[in-house]
Amino acid sequence: MEITNVTEYEAIAKEKLPKMVYDYYASGAEDQWTLQENRNAFARILFRPRILIDVSKIDMTTTILGFKISMPIMVAPTAMQKMAHPEGEYATARAASAAGTIMTLSSWATSSVEEVASTGPGIRFFQLYVYKNRNVVEQLVRRAERAGFKAIALTVDTPRLGRRESDIKNRFTLPPNLTLKNFEGLDLGKMDEANDSGLASYVAGQIDRTLSWKDVQWLQTITKMPILVKGVITGEDARIAVQAGAAGIIVSNHGARQLDYVPATISALEEVVKATQGRIPVFLDGGVRRGTDVFKALALGASGIFIGRPVVFSLAAEGEAGVRKVLQMLRDEFELTMALSGCRSLKEITRNHITTEWDTPRPPHPSARL
């Protein structure tokens, strides 16, 4: 059966993967209300396409933190990709590079920063969890920088792990043949069996709950890499992020895996964008499955989006070729959405190209003929 959209990979991944692994990738926190809402909220945004515009040439290129990429669609950090496919993060890195876009490597990758760098050229960001042992953090940041990574995506929504009930039921733990490669040799690469979720126990033991805004400033003293704050969903925190010297914000609810009943990221996006007043770029992850979703995020002020689950599901189904196909399908759909909306470049995508349920009805334009 020919795959014609990103969502179709999930069913194939479910068939192929062990239940514990599929559930780890697929599930959200508690009632999984936000997990559904991340998708549903996109469906409540409609288009206001402009017609009779010459769309014979469409330019999707953009610049992120000074790096030119082919499209505003990037790869989010997802943990332990070798559970999905033996090539894991290597395959994802090659696919992102081939697509001319950015890959973000998870702290909890099953391939190290050096191994991912060895796959060849590419613009890569490193997602960081702050461990209680700050020497470990400092070492890891330095290694990422040495390996040519270009930015840090600091995850700020995980002082404790969200309650993911399927992981508790499955007694989730990293399969015995795999390790968290970035922490190998530091005695932090192993995750033990626990009487609930092995990952939840690991986080409770290792991740620093005291993490605060002063640590965002501390990070800037140990690296020249720009810092993106990942996990902001309010205007208040967006303003503090700007003051704290963040180079950008990723509006994220951690794929609905942390606090349930937070809004969908697409619903929180505009508040965050307005609060930053254009001083730093704002990105979005969570629920993007179509080129139309990408356009909606950009119309609400995002500079780009990141995809997570579509990468691991396509990786499980078809390895590197699957991830390449996901990036290509989203690219093609986004290009078509731009053309049918009358936009030839990203700067032509405006708030007027969409309508949301929270918009006030527009008065007719004085020049509009009755």
pLDDT in tens, the chain (370 residues): 899 999 999 999 999 999 999 999 999 999 999 999 999 999 999 999 999 999 999 999 999 999 999 999 999 999 999 999 999 999 999 999 999 999 999 999 999 999 999 999 999 999 999 999 999 999 999 999 999 999 999 999 999 999 999 999 999 999 999 999 999 878 675 677 676 777 778 877 888 899 999 999 999 999 999 999 999 999 999 999 999 999 999 999 999 999 999 999 999 999 999 999 999 999 999 999 999 999 999 999 999 999 999 999 999 999 999 999 999 999 999 999 999 999 999 999 999 999 997 777 666 666 655 5
pLDDT, residue 189, reads: 58
Tell how far CA 358 is from the center of its chain: 25
The CA distance from 71 to 334, in Å, is 9
Are 191 and 167 a contacting pair, CB within 8 Å?
A: no
Distant-in-sequence, close-in-space partners of 81: CB < 8 Å, separation ≥ 6: 88, 89, 91, 92, 106, 109, 110, 111, 311, 312, 315
Secondary structure letter of residue 255 according to DSSP: G
138: left (phi over 0), alpha (psi -120 to 50) or beta: alpha
Q: Tell me: is residue 289 an annotated ligand-binding position.
A: yes
Q: Tell me: is residue 196 an annotated ligand-binding position.
A: no
The CA distance from 230 to 130, in Å, is 13
Pairing verdict, β 45-47 and 282-285 = unpaired
pLDDT, residue 198, reads: 74
pLDDT, residue 307, reads: 98
Q: Tell me: is residue 79 an annotated ligand-binding position.
A: yes
Topology of domain 6-356 in CATH is TIM Barrel (3.20.20)
Rg (CA), the chain: 20
Q: Tell me: is residue 365 an annotated ligand-binding position.
A: no
The CA distance from 16 to 136, in Å, is 35
Active-site amino acid positions: 254
pTM summary value: 0.95
Q: What are phi and psi of 155, to 5 degrees?
A: -80, 125
Q: Which residue has the tokens 């995750």?
A: 191
Are 96 and 323 a contacting pair, CB within 8 Å?
A: yes
- What's the half-sphere exposure (Cβ side, CA atoms, 13 Å) at 301? 22
Q: Tell me: is residue 202 an annotated ligand-binding position.
A: no
229 bridge partner residues:
154, 249
Q: Which residue has the tokens 């697409």?
A: 266
pLDDT, residue 365, reads: 62
pLDDT, residue 87, reads: 98
The CA distance from 193 to 317, in Å, is 27
In the chain, what are the domain boundaries? 6-356
Q: Tell me: is residue 302 an annotated ligand-binding position.
A: no
| Helix 19-26 with 309-341: angle, nearest 10 deg | 40
Q: Tell me: is residue 308 an annotated ligand-binding position.
A: yes
pLDDT, residue 115, reads: 97
Q: Tell me: is residue 9 an annotated ligand-binding position.
A: no
